[in-house]
Amino acid sequence: MLSTICLCRRASKLIIGFDAVISAIKEDNGFAGIVLASDISAKTEKEVRFYAEKHNREVIKAQFSMEDAQNAVGKRAGVFLISDEGLFKSIVGSNNI
């Protein structure tokens, strides 16, 4: 899953971090879905799910931690917005969720 997220970053189809993701959701520029790290706070998860549900977007919680994400994409974050439908489907379909 992290390798697909890295691919999204290289393809400029990834928004990283809570504030940036919430801003993108509010602007509703079209996005596929959101991936959450396993160790984000309950409050953060609740807020992200609230905004995503308002815009009928899927949110999945992954099994990787924020530290794993930092090692993979170079930035410590727990919220990732995927803007490409095909890449998001690849993430959802992976066995590592």
Sketch out the chain's domains with CATH numbers.
2-93 (3.30.1330.30)
Q: Identify the three-state secondary structure at position 23.
A: helix
The series of mean pLDDT values per 10 residues for the chain, 97 residues long, is 90 94 87 93 96 92 93 93 92 68
The reported pLDDT for the residue numbered 17 is 95
d(CA 44, CA 30): 21
d(CA 47, CA 94): 25
Q: What are phi and psi of 80, to 5 degrees?
A: -130, 125
Q: Identify the three-state secondary structure at position 94.
A: coil
Q: At what angle do helices 2-10 and 85-93 cross, to 10 degrees?
A: 170
The reported pLDDT for the residue numbered 10 is 92
Q: What is the pTM of this model?
A: 0.89
d(CA 96, CA 69): 14
Whole-Å CA distances, 93 to 4, 42, 62, 82, 96: 11, 24, 12, 14, 9
The reported pLDDT for the residue numbered 51 is 93
The reported pLDDT for the residue numbered 13 is 93
